[in-house]
Amino acid sequence: MRALINALNGDRLHHAYLFTGTRGVGKTTVARILAKCLNCETGVTPEPCGVCSSCREISEGRFVDLIEVDAASRSRVEETRDLLENVQYAPTRGRYKVYLIDEVHMLSTASFNALLKTLEEPPPHVKFLLATTDPKKLPMTVLSRCLQFHLKNLTPERIVRHLEMVLGEEHIEAESEALWGLARAADGSMRDALSLTDQAIAFGDGRLAADEVARMLGTIDQSAMQRILEGLAAGNGDMLLAVCAHLAEHAADFPAVLRELMAVLHRIAVIQAVPAAAPPEAGSGDRSAAVVVAMAGQLTPEDVQLYYQIALMGQRDLPFAPDPRSGFEMTLLRMLAFRPEQPGDHEGEAAKASSAPVRSAQSTAREVAPPSDQDSPAVHVVARTARGAAVASGNGNQDDLPPPVEPALMVVQNMESSPPVADPVVAVAEPQPASTAPPVAPAGPTVQPELTEPQHWHETVGRLDLSGLTSELVNHCMPVEIEAGRVRLLLDPSAEALNSDVHVGRLEVALEALLGRPFRVEIHIGAAADETPAQRAARQRAERQRQAEEAIASDANVQILIETFNASVQRESIRPMG
């Protein structure tokens, strides 16, 4: 508002002002105050006296030179023309004739056109004050002729202070937590805050109690929110379900509860990241601020970020849940299920595992007992395979066991920060009993000479890990010769533009990964005797398309439709299935 103050002090007034903002932020009130500033009997001033006849008449709504118009009820062009007929006449009482048009975006296009010329060049004694909640609906020709002022939403702190002043004048008792609840529910609108306060006074029989205001607004008690956060911090699912049951008994709005949980998590994250940015209401009677400060010391920043993200996704999925309560409970249980592991979560399991003398015979590994010195690191070794373990334990049949494998030896030292052991205990896999089955040799990938045959080449191309243009290049190739370390391919002339060193290099890497040996790929341009994978795929698509068209043409129902309605089949709309 500095621009308005300076303009009034310097008598450099514009002919049209536009006030924008959401509902209840004071657009019309500011316009009326500006009308007082223009017509105060003490002169044009940013501080009207408020006691002169002009100021009092404007406050009482009976100042003859302040013409207030509700554009929502007078949007027709005829009414706008009637309004502008008296523009040329001088004001009766005041210094300026002020036209205050509220909700100006509701005017019709014809009304804007009728107003435009007068708004552009009004008489010197006329001022236009426009107010709207949706300036995007105003024509640019109107916006360009006005000085625009956007009124921001009021913060909860300012709303609480104003409510305290109003209630103090009315001698109405009010709890601080109740005022904070009303301020947050107003969502930046002072008018909504006053309306809710009036309703709360009637609901509470002349006083504002925190629990009664929360019941009227449908919000939850902050103690319930604190129990939810404590249950999350402790990983206590029973506590969370008990709180959900308590909320359900009081018919809580679970989507609103989830939004409140997100708001509290946001405030906790702010305090944890920037301790100096603690909520201004932390020192007041706002009990939610005390909950935020208390839980900021119990929850880790990682947990808070995870809980907020899960709550955000839960809010999106809540409409798809069987009912709001189950959706809210599932969101809380998801927070527990995906909670990051904390130090010491598995200490009991680790101690139990280290004290176990021998693993099960079905296990593929066992632990070697550490030396008697407690400070020495334990040495874990892989002792035997599944077959060796089963034979050693006497629980397996020789005929049912898999073929033996080569003995294996593995030494894995504990990763604790202790000095290395000079003579670690080593366990060697025990030799397996002789078996009539021959040992299985590891099967290494080898080059198959049959790859030069079309069918084998098509299968090989399908197994290559390629994509994009490199895959297109291979699909248009057929092998001519595959020998040790070299592959010669014949590329279809129609795809000659795909041939490049980059794609050839990627093909060599893919062949080596598939066949286990390095290859040098040579590509020559020419027509192959057999069809390439691309040509084969095109032929198969054409065959499926032909079969689909024949199926449609031979369908009895289609024939009946054609004969009955003299219809025709659009062949280009037929697509094969699969």
**Do 185 and 226 belong to one domain?**
no
CATH number for the domain including 300?
A: 1.20.272.10
**pLDDT at res. 120:** 84
pLDDT surpassing 80 at residue 69: yes
Range of the domain at 168: 156-217
pLDDT digits (tens, 9 = 90+) for 399-438: 444 444 443 333 333 434 444 444 444 444 444 444 444 4
**pLDDT at res. 334:** 93
**pLDDT at res. 196:** 92
**Do 245 and 327 belong to one domain?**
yes
From 3-7, 31-35, 284-288, the region with the lowest mean pLDDT: 284-288
DSSP state of 103: S
Q: Is residue 413 part of a domain?
A: no
Among residues 314, 337, 360, the one where a domain terminates is 337
CA-nearest of 111, 88, 113, 83 to 99 is 83
Q: Is residue 190 part of a domain?
A: yes
Q: Is residue 364 part of a domain?
A: no
pLDDT surpassing 60 at residue 132: yes
**pLDDT at res. 435:** 43
pLDDT confidence of 79, banded at 50, 70, 90? confident
**Do 14 and 121 belong to one domain?**
yes
**Do 69 and 22 belong to one domain?**
yes
pLDDT surpassing 90 at residue 312: yes
pLDDT digits (tens, 9 = 90+) for 144-164: 999 999 998 888 889 999 999
CB 457 within 8 A of CB 529: no
**Do 63 and 146 belong to one domain?**
yes
**pLDDT at res. 345:** 54
Among residues 199, 217, 235, the one where a domain terminates is 217
Angle between helices 254-273 and 287-296 (to 10 degrees): 60
Q: Is residue 439 part of a domain?
A: no
Q: By three-state DSSP, how is residue 96 classified?
A: coil
Q: Is residue 362 part of a domain?
A: no
The verdict on pTM exceeding 0.75 is: no
pLDDT confidence of 571, banded at 50, 70, 90? confident
**Do 26 and 76 belong to one domain?**
yes
**Do 460 and 494 belong to one domain?**
yes
Angle between helices 176-186 and 190-203 (to 10 degrees): 130
From 33-47, 69-83, 143-157, 358-372, the region with the lowest mean pLDDT: 358-372
pLDDT digits (tens, 9 = 90+) for 463-487: 888 888 888 898 999 888 877 778 8
Q: Is residue 547 part of a domain?
A: yes
Structure-block tokens of residue 168: 């103090």
- State the total domains in the chain: 5
**Do 121 and 85 belong to one domain?**
yes
Q: Is residue 311 part of a domain?
A: yes
> What's the CA gap between 310 and 332, in Å, rounded?
8
**Do 177 and 264 belong to one domain?**
no
**pLDDT at res. 462:** 84
pLDDT digits (tens, 9 = 90+) for 157-207: 899 999 999 999 989 988 888 898 899 888 889 999 999 999 999 988 888
Structure-block tokens of residue 509: 């890497």
CB 118 within 8 A of CB 157: no
CATH number for the domain including 170?
A: 1.10.8.60
Please report, for residues 9, 255, 260, 317, the alpha-carbon distance to residue 326 in angstroms, rounded to integers and kept in the order given. 62, 11, 17, 11
Q: Is residue 420 part of a domain?
A: no
CA-nearest of 80, 69, 64 to 31 is 69
Among residues 337, 367, 395, the one where a domain terminates is 337
